[in-house]
Structures are given as C-alpha cells and as structure tokens.
Structure 1
Amino acid sequence: MTEPVAISETERLISSDKVEGTRVYNRQGERLGTIRNFMVNKQSGRVEYAVLEFGGILGIGNEYYPLPWELLTYDAKQAGYCVDLDKTRLEGAPRYRDRDPLWDEIYGQQVYGYYGVTYPLF
C-alpha cells in the first residue's frame, strides 16, 4: 500500500495555497506585509522569488516586492516568514504596482543584487 500524497502540509512541506497570505516580519518583529504568491522556475521547479505585498489601504495602492526566496525563513513562533530587512531598506527595493515586471535575467540580477544575493542560473 502506498502512502497518500501530501496536499496540504507536512513537517517539511507546505502547499502553495498555505504560503499565500502568510505574514512576513523583519528580525525586529515588525510586520512588513504578506506573501502574495511565489514564482517557480518552469524548468528547474525551484522557487525563484516570493512576491511580498506591502503598503496600501484595503488593497488599494498596494505595492509588490519580489524577494529572493532564500531570504525568507519560516518562524513557527510568529507563524510567518522572517526576513533580515528593515522597512527603510524595503521601501528602496525594486517593486511594482500595476503591472508585473518582465522577469528576465537582467531584472533578476537587479533584484537579487539589491539584496546582496547572487542570482541563480537555473
């Protein structure tokens, strides 16, 4: 008899729908926003970046910040992800509002470079 396939959450896995809406905090415990979604490389299957939703009021004027996935660490005590950023640094980060950016290698390198992370070549 085979084991059932996990579709929600296990000790080390979580489904994408449970990641969406998860709160993101900095190391000082300040809430920075929530995970809107994350983007998976079609070829490698690896998560390339998470989209942090920040700002706005009641969904109006929200801004979206692509964050390299490896910057995020899950913190069970906060029931959310932690990132080593303060709000000032985040406010100067690459972001978009109305239209998704064209994510190509050049833009990816800009985003990853802003956070001091090497852009992966998948």
Structure 2
Amino acid sequence: MTIGSNVISSDRVEGTTVYNPSGDKLGSIDDLMIDKVSGQVRYAVLEFGGFLGMGTDRYPIPWNMLKYDTSQDGYVVPLDKATLDGAPRYADSSVPDYDDNYTSTVNKYYGF
C-alpha cells in the first residue's frame, strides 16, 4: 500500500518538535486527539515544561493551528511560551474527558 505525501502516520507525528514563529522550541507532540465520528484530528497535545520528561504538562492545541515547516522538520504554531503558560493543560496522569465543556474551554482560549 502506498501512502501519499499529504498523509502521515500518527506515530511519526508524535514526538515531532513544535516551534513558535521565531524558531524557539516550545515542546513536542505527545498525542493526537481524533474526533470519533468524523475521523478528523482535533487536537495535537503538546508536551511542554518539566525536566527530562518529569513534571511535564500536556497542552491540547487545535490541530488547525499547526503548520508543518519542512525547513525545521517540525510544526510551527503562532504561540509563545507566555501564551502556553496560561493555556488549558493537564498532567499525563490525569487526561481529561474531551467532552463539550472541556473542548469549549480549549477552543475559547485559542479564539475558536
């Protein structure tokens, strides 16, 4: 089976570095949240903060905010670290239910 150039396996997305427009590394993609009905990726969960993977928080970012940059071999989001500091987040051990209330909170934070 041949996979087209516009398609990527989720395990290749996970671990990909995320940068801001200035080229600063913000973190890496830890997980993807996929809509069960449409099959569309709704959120990339950014792993950010902590030290050596300890104390790292997860930040769900609407998928349509990420743009792949081939020159950086990573995704770019129009965010800075200060914006992420105030963003909805959770610890790896306490993944929230991505219900209407939670997704509404995330979407409102990012202006969607």
- Partners of 2:80 and 2:49 lie apart in 1 by 14
Deviation at 1:58, TM superposition (A): 1.1
Q: Which residue of the other structure, out of 96, 105, 110, is the alignment partner of 1:110?
A: 105
Percent sequence identity over aligned pairs: 52
Q: Does the residue aligned with 2:42 lie in a helix, a strand or coil? A: strand
Q: Does the residue aligned with 1:45 lie in a helix, a strand or coil? A: coil
1:33 and 2:27 matched: yes
- Partners of 2:2 and 2:52 lie apart in 1 by 37
RMSD over equivalenced CA pairs, Å:
0.9
Q: How many residues are paired up?
A: 111
1:25-55 deviation digits (Å, cap 9, x = unpaired): 0001100000001011111101111100001
Q: TM-score scaled to structure 2, two decimals?
A: 0.95
1:100 and 2:112 matched: no
The answer for unaligned runs of 5 or more in structure 2 is: none
Q: TM-score scaled to structure 1, two decimals?
A: 0.88
Deviation at 1:5, TM superposition (A): 3.8
Q: Does the residue aligned with 1:101 lie in a helix, a strand or coil? A: coil
Larger Rg: 1
Matched with 2:42 is 48
1:43-82 deviation digits (Å, cap 9, x = unpaired): 1101111100001111110000000000000000000000
4+ residue runs over 3 A deviation: none
The answer for unaligned runs of 5 or more in structure 1 is: 118-122
